[in-house]
Structure 1
Amino acid sequence: TQRWQETRILVDMISFKISKMHLYADAPVAAVNQFNKHMTVTRRIAEDRGLGRDHFKHLTWEMRQYRLFGELVEIALKNGFKLPITATVQAPSGGGTAVDPDSLLQHPGFYYHAAAMCVARRRRSFMRAEKDHTAAMMAPADQVARFVSVLDPAFAEALDVERGVDHSAMAIELLTKSYEQFKRFRNVRMTLYLASEIATEYFEAAKYDMAIKFFDRIAKTYRKERWYTVLQSILSRSLECSRPLSMWDKAVEYLVELLSDRIPSSEKDRMAYQRELFEILRVVFRYGTTFSGVAAPLQVTLATTASAPMLPIQIDSLRINFNSLRHGYRFDHDTDGASKPEAPIALSDSTSLQLIDCTDAKKTNVAEPVDGPETVWTKQVDLSITRGLTKVFEGIVVPTQQDELSVVSMEAVLRFPAWEITMQLKPDYEAPRRWVLPSERAKNALHRFIALDGSTDRTILRVMRRQPKFEVQIEHPQPAYLDEYYPLTIKLINSETDNINATFSAEMKMIGATELDDMLTLDPTSNTGGHILKQMNAGTIEAGQTATRTLYMRATRVVGERSVQLRVRYQLASHENNYEKGISTIVDVVQPFETSFEAFPLRQQIGYGEDDDAVLLKREEINMLVVRICSCGPWDVEVEQMSLELKKPPNDEATATKLISASTSGEHFAAQVWTKEQVVQANYLLQMSTPNTPFALPVADVGPLVLKWKRASTGSASPSYPCFSSILVPSVELDEREVSVVAEHPPFASAHEPFTLTYRVRNPTARLEELSASMETADGFVFAGMRQVMFRVMPMSCYRLRYNLYPLRTGRLKLPRLRLQCVREVTREIKVLGQDGSVDGMTLFVMPAKSADDQ
């Protein structure tokens, strides 16, 4: 149930934190005891709720717990934690101490391996559940009651989720982590065992090429150390991997070694290995085996017997038929003698031998073959036969796919004015196994024949599938910048004599995480692509040529290593076989820029209502935002544009921002190249306005700083394309509102005439302010009023202090100073502003007193 899942998540988190705190406290025994206790208690609860410990859902939970605990121990080791050597307890009989396995904290590889074993059990449990579910769906109606739990919709939903899980990939990842940890702690035997487990997982996932690499690596060690029992199991699995890959040379090696006396095999197994070996090693033609697309030499001998007619026989056409309709030879008689054949050479047994070179026969594709070959080699040769003459026709066969070729028949055609006779000639498979050399390669007539190696007749050519001579390379100038279109140059090298058509698929992953904003594209100007590209056409690569294709990757948001995996699917233009090659590369992504921001408030203006004593909640503040950008990467960059994109207020209570001026706008900024470690400064004058509401937030979200730039030099022939980097500007906090005091007085005064000095105290905050004021004396003035006074100013209101001043003399005199202090929590002094904006030390010009005549 959902409640049980939430409870288990909470319990898991609490147990994990307890173990973590124990490790912090350097108490490994307590940490592992807590983990074991949590696993035991949760298993018991799961069994009580009907979810057995072998259920795939429970095993999923166990796998996560072992993996998390292994990661916790790994992090602790990286931060200086040391594993204890042993943990001893007193034996029950009092006869000494012993190691308690449950209280011994292992290194992370142990827990990763336990998690991998949970994945294996999870897969077996899922397969049993899948089998039960299938049986339940096919069960008769009277037996449905036996499968009530299996037919539960929740169980069916869990099966659907489990079908989408790649168990092999998960197990390989955990086993690889465990292998690295055991290798770090130098557990050699355990690393070999884990490598074998990884190979087995690849085998069960049908990734035979990876499995055979691991098996071969492990077999070297066990072969060297003479662990033949283990070696037998590894060789058997390697043999099973070589069959679907058509790696017959490898299969022969494995079979020969399995037949050796060192390998403890039963007689039945040895007979099976021997039969398979002889099937693979059945010799044919000159070399016995060849690869698809590779020419195989062929000789067909046409010999006359001692009882042949004395007169020469002229064969008009000779056809050689294979068991495959893809191949065939057709020789026509050369009536004009243009072929200039080699003259027959007399042999020691009163016979003669003539070798006819047909390796230069013309290849012809039959458009609509009817009960005949699709491809034939044709040539005009001398087909006249006399007694005692042996003609040897030497040609080649170029198979296009995996097959077993053999000559099944030959047809000699004799044409007459009214007749056409076709004689079926059956090949003699018991003829001596020899190969005829051309005259220029033989010392004399006695050396015209060489014996073929092997033990059987070469009547069958075993064609094995061969990967064409085609290489894929990826070149790129490390490292890549964040947000840039980084070029990956794909080199497709065709070393074949035939054209190759290729397509490729690419996938980019972030190592250790998934970043969905990363992108691969072939055209950065179209802004199309994704982290996976499928079946992109690479075109035709001419024979013996190298073609280059450029793939662009764009990594965003997070720096770190990216893995780009490329799968190239290709085929020879003249063949139908499809081949695949995979290659991967690691790209290190770094930050192109480092930025720092600093805001300097210039002035603040508080809003007032129609009444001078009313203070509004709205206020404005001018800030100078200073941005410093350092080009921290190893490559020079060309910056075309830099602008501050202001963010609109999300609601009515947010602070609005307005750009007054910028040092990077218009003529102030031109495209420029930033070199390594160059620092550039930009200034932005911002006006920030808060709304007239008590809930206004005194924080302004400015928006991102956007740079349009490109790498000045890509380090390759691929062009660079402009990209955009968006750098988040931190929020700017407005200065806190404070009590302000402004002195108000007439512009001038007359001696011996009193005037009023008013101090307007405004409280723009939302709190009650308690103030203390004291008036100091000044030369030239006497005043009437409270020398010291305590008063309170209500929130969002104004308070007036009035003093009557009497000038005693003329001239510019300094007014008495008012000392105003806030005594709310910490006593602090408030500056008094004059009408002219001066701070303290205000002066006033006193004129002479007016005479009676002036009045």
Structure 2
Amino acid sequence: MPSVYDTYLCREPANDVPMLIRNGPDEYTALLRILQRSADYFAEKDHTRTVERLQLEIARVHMQNKRWDRAARVLISLSQTLSWRRAGWWVLLEEMDWALRDCARRIGDLQTLIAVEWELMCSYLTPRQDWHYDFSKAIDGIKTSNPRPKSVIRAESTLSCISATFAFGVTEGNVGVSLPSQLIVTSRTHKDSTPILVSQVKVAFEGGLRSFNIQHELTEKPEASTSDGLAHLHRISLQKASSDATSLPSSPNFSPGSQPLIRVADLEIAPGVTKALSLDHVPRDPGDVEVASITLCMSVVDFDMEVVITEQEQIHQETLWVKSPLGLLPKKAKVGRSSVVKILPKPPKMQIQALGLSPNYFTDEDITIEIEATNEEEEETNVSIDARLLAPSGILPTLRWALDEGEDSREVAPEDPPDPSSIDSSSKSIGNLAPMANRRHTLCIQGSPVAADYILEVKARYHVLSDPETPIIKSFSTKIGVVTPFKANHSFLPRIHCEPWPSYFNADGLDENSKNDAGEMEVAKGLTQEWSLTSRIASLANVSLMIQSVEPQVVEIHEGAICSISSASGDTVAASMISPNDFQAHDFVILAQKLDLEDRRSTFLDLRLEIKWHRDGFQGPPVVTHLSVPELVIPFGEPRVLASARSGNVPPGAINLDYVIENPSMYALPFQLTMDISEEFAFSGPKNVTLQLVPLSRHNIRYVILPHVKGLWISPQFRVFDTHFQKSLKVNATEGMRSDKKGVSIWVDADS
């Protein structure tokens, strides 16, 4: 009984695709359509290898129908992006290569034919038993036209039967010093194939190393070989291509420096053979150098071909071949990428040093440094020196070189640079220096107004006279520490001004527009206050310094007043030496007067100390250093109480204690005055009193104090209460007194 199948879910093949069972062009078209639809479907799913397999099937369908050009287009497109080559699927790659070779020969595509013949020579593919592999006969039997065919292949898009790698022998080299390297060419052709003749190998670099060409020429035997004869070492000394200079193009842009280095070697490579070409370069420029490309050039009777290698993974070489007593042996290359090397400047033998450096310099002090250059090269050199000052931020001082006889000043003023770490530079030409000769020049640095740590960088740029094309740089840097020589703290106390105040009853008679004798500025007619400023200057230097003078200077006065400053002693202070960590006290008297009598605003003073000093034994103009004084506030609008004390004669040991109550306001103020009794002293004067002060007036009340103790501080408790504003006034101490939490204190001498 015949088999019966249900076909309601799947129709018979003849009904499903009826055109496939008929002969003719429809069958060819339908099959291509189905394969292309399948390829498009799998492409949407990112099934790359399935798509490539379907494209190979499409090419086969074209080949079965003698559509060689269509098959070639599909295979060429497939070959350029084939993943089988990268994944090592050699069986599928070999199948595609033979199909592409067949199509290329039939349509006369010589460039494609040369490229696929090159790939079929690789031993990774299975050799055909009845096939003789000879690359020089790749296009035999095909007519060629003029010009002769030339194929350029990129190594990353083919399976090359010859590899070329490059390795530097060191990680770092120097300008003008021989740089060892190896160019290693290895044949991966089939065992029984004909040796391949490489006519030329071109190596190009990125960086300061000149490219070179190795041309084929039968030479002497290799320097060393392995025991099996599969690896050979050839030593090559690169040289300029002087003999071929006449063949180079003549143009205005051509220069001998652009001509590649050239040498010859035996570049005929048999199957499985490795040739290591040991090279010695002489770098001329510093910087990073990397192999940009290696080009293998083949020139046979009928065609030319170039294989260009640019990917660093293919250029990189993991082993070097070295000669040893046991023969030629492989040695692991340097760590990292062997195709990269750092070229450092030529090791300089010029010595640069700074003489007479101080551990510390001080602000505002000009700095002079002797820079000595000593030529320890074996030849005479031509030298120039650059000096530069570096700091994290800020405006840096000016550099200049001291004048030599018959020389103009060289000074470079600092500008606002884009890089705050580099400010100022100055250059000086030294000229020719004989071997072991030295020369000194003085570098002057303007005094810095701020304390900072600077870096002085000195570079000697020179070349030996026999090789002016190779610049050499010797760098020297040293720290220049600039510190503040002084610091100061200040005490600001009121004093009793002896001159009378303007009369309230005569205030309207003052001429508001009165002028001084010169008629240039308005005369101050307001209240006057006297203050004491004591500045204690401490030395932060590590050496003794001579202070010539200390003078306070008014920077700015705020809120309508004039100010005069004088020494408390009235005499000019003589120059004095200040030792490290020592201090000096300087007293000054400040008189501040309001311009307008009705102005009750507080006055603010901005002062600075001008200190003129120099190092011990220095002969020359003094250094001027300015120290800022914190803002001083002089109140003019509030009543105040000033206390002063001096020794009295009757009775013996008594102290005259005066209290001055001031009313600077424009209205009368009543005050309640109280002196408390104390076990420390007896006093003569009112214990309680009420005082009425008219506007713009002051009153002095005196107590005679007889202390019960000696050699101690006593603290009279004098209280002033403003009954109008209902508040207590603070008693301010003047010179010779102190103010603490107990109030105003007076010192009682032990001998009084």
Structure (1/2) with the larger helix percentage: 1
TM-score range, shorter chain: 0.3 to 0.5
Instruction: Using structure 1 for the length normalisation, give the TM-score.
Output: 0.34
Larger radius of gyration: 2
Report which structure shows greater RCO (CA 8 Å, sep ≥6). Answer: 2
Query: Relative to total residues, which structure has the larger strand share, 1 or 2?
Result: 2
TM-score by length of 2: 0.38
